Chains A and B, each alone.
Chain A
């Protein structure tokens, strides 16, 4: 799994941090998403998929090929 985030779309709500705190954080100054781990280990995949789906600004895209 490979994660990409679109900072320009991010609404800074922090839903991703609530859902997958090992993979996402927010910048202190403006709350925009910080990707801690673009290729997380398998045990985190379910949480990352949920984070991508619940993101209210569709700022997280997953590539699951391979």
Chain B
């Protein structure tokens, strides 16, 4: 395909904005339109569960770029108008308001939405956390005090529990794993994280799945566990992962299977790409389809797609990276902390809660973890994890990579 004269990016969050920025940086001078379903200019989601939820930041501070930087980008924003249909043959996108936008290349960056539990819809006091509006609503409810139950023991759930506990609320964290982030960190480090939460006063109710919610007068009153026990709650946060936003693409002819299925260059069809949380692309190193939800993937995949749009033709083979901040712990995860990997602490001291560790499988390093040692973790990554291309499927599988992702 020759270089397109214009590009339509469907999605105006981190992946969408990064696509536009990378196109300009790589010299693309054609028209760029960003179509977003939310009314806001691009903002960042990682602070929502931390600085915005705690009130340390005003919501405005979550914006990704200054107005001046967005002006300089020379991009047309169409906001508050969700995409509703795609015709890949003409590369036309229909919107909820009835508009039709067309471009030579279309980049799908519609992200993902929170998974919910049965009976959650319309019930007062129950929250998810994905958007700025979600964060404001949850913060308002937390300011009312009471018992908070967080459903979900992954990154988001553990961060929300830490933030709510930092506000001195009565917080319970419930989920099926033995420790928070067990799938992402492995047993040793997730155990240390569980100890940290317990020491800071979070009531951990782990090892039992959540069956549903109890309600009284239209408002949540508790969380029912598989054991039948009910945890009383005034506020419930459901953090059970996310579902890629592909419903609007049903009938488009694109292959949809837990995301928009793409080739190694993130192409879903001729002139159609996908980036970020919604993209499930063929990872050449792993020899399988992978979908990553971490923040860094949004920008790195956007840069790869922008490169392809302007004629680069390189396959996308990233080293996954995510971070999480909980209480005074800053964790950095590079690569994959695969289950059953041999963990060796190579710097610092676990007891002092400042250490860096290598995760090895078959004698190969597949992941690096830093606990309050970010610089050292990055240096270990540079030494041991040049590209996941080197990690063939014999060391880690695509499923393990996805499970270990944010």
Contact = CB atoms under 8 A, between A and B. Distances in A.
A7 B22 CA distance: 24
Interface residues of A, number: 24
Interface string A40-66: 000000100110011011100110100
Interface residues of B, number: 31
A12 B22 contact: no
Nearest to A50: B25
Contact of A26 (B46, B69, B375): B375
A53 B17 CA distance: 9
B54 interface: no
A17 to B, nearest CB: 6
Contact of B375 (A28, A54, A56): A28
A13 B378 contact: yes
Contact of A53 (B66, B303, B375): B303
A18 B46 contact: no
Given A54-B299, A54-B303, A58-B64, A14 B378 contact: yes
Contacts, number: 73
B375 A11 contact: no
Nearest to B43: A58
Contacts of B381: 14
A50 B241 CA distance: 30
B66 A61 contact: yes
B235 interface: no
A62 B21 CA distance: 13
B389 to A, nearest CB: 16
Given A12-B374, A14-B378, A31-B375, A61 B69 contact: yes
Given A18-B378, A54-B303, 4 more contacts: A11-B323, A14-B374, A18-B382, A53-B21
Given A30-B330, A31-B330, A49-B25, A54 B300 contact: yes
B165 interface: no
Contacts of A53: 18, 21-22, 25, 299, 303
Given A14-B374, A26-B378, A56 B332 contact: no
A58 B323 contact: no
A28 B295 CA distance: 24
Contacts of A28: 375
Contacts of A49: 25
Contact of B332 (A13, A27, A32, A58): A13
Interface string B40-81: 000010110000000000000000111001001000000000
B296 A13 contact: yes
Given A46-B25, A54-B299, A13 B374 contact: yes
B323 A13 contact: yes
Contact of B373 (A15, A17, A31, A50): A31
A31 B372 CA distance: 8
Nearest to A58: B64
A56 B46 contact: yes
Contacts of A14: 332, 374-375, 377-378, 381
